[in-house]
Chains A and B, each alone.
Chain A
Amino acid sequence: AQKVTQAQTEISVVEKEDVTLDCVYETRDTTYYLFWYKQPPSGELVFLIRRNSFDEQNEISGRYSWNFQKSTSSFNFTITASQVVDSAVYFCALSEAWGSQGNLIFGKGTKLSVKP
């Protein structure tokens, strides 16, 4: 069965601190996709990144970076020099590649509060 675990329910940091959000997944598939979404207080889920299981290169986008490690089934997300606008709930999600409906299996989310 597929499962995504975000062990950190809530994290609070002060502006400019770096913060890492953990994501551990379970799947029997050899081909799968991983995603991160941001849900600000307004409520709309905003897509951040999509990564397939064959691409283990880390990715950096501005202050955001992602560390994908198949050996530990983890896909962690780091925000460098956090800002108040980063305050949101962040969801990690998993999707099968083949023979499924492509629906997302979400973790429970991590609520990040960045204080000025």
Chain B
Amino acid sequence: GAGVSQSPSNKVTEKGKDVELRCDPISGHTALYWYRQSLGQGLEFLIYFQGNSAPDKSGLPSDRFSAERTGGSVSTLTIQRTQQEDSAVYLCASSLARGLAGPPDTQYFGPGTRLTVL
């Protein structure tokens, strides 16, 4: 079946502009994760959705970052007023299920969106 898809694959933007990154999880996966990969910070967790709900947004780097998920499927990560330090690869992953009282299922990753802020 189809894996996790992300769009766009590459995004170049100017400092101060807003960007939207999209993630389509594997069909039937209720848990969705966003991560960021940069040279300096490695792979860091941003936010998790169980269904449409994100119980904890403290992993987002600043209040310029927001994320939503609709219909228990597609998720959008929005970065407002982009800064050069936002340049990174943004990775999305999905897993079958994840309740707060259950073990973590295997996460399957998309190809990522490479964001470059000039």
Contacts and interface: CB of A to CB of B under 8 A. Distances in A.
A104 B58 CA distance: 15
A115 interface: no
A98 to B, nearest CB: 6
Interface in A26-73: 31, 33, 35, 37, 42-47, 50, 52
Interface stretch (B14-22, B67-75, B80-88, B102-110): B102-110
Nearest to B98: A102
Nearest to B100: A99
A11 to B, nearest CB: 17
Closest 9 CB pairs of A and B: A102-B104, A45-B109, A106-B43, A103-B45, A101-B48, A102-B98, A95-B104, A44-B111, A97-B103
A100 B112 CA distance: 24
The SS class assigned to the A binding surface is loop
B77 interface: no
Interface of A: 31, 33, 35, 37, 42-47, 50, 52, 91, 95-109
Contact of A97 (B35, B104, B107): B104
A102 B112 contact: no
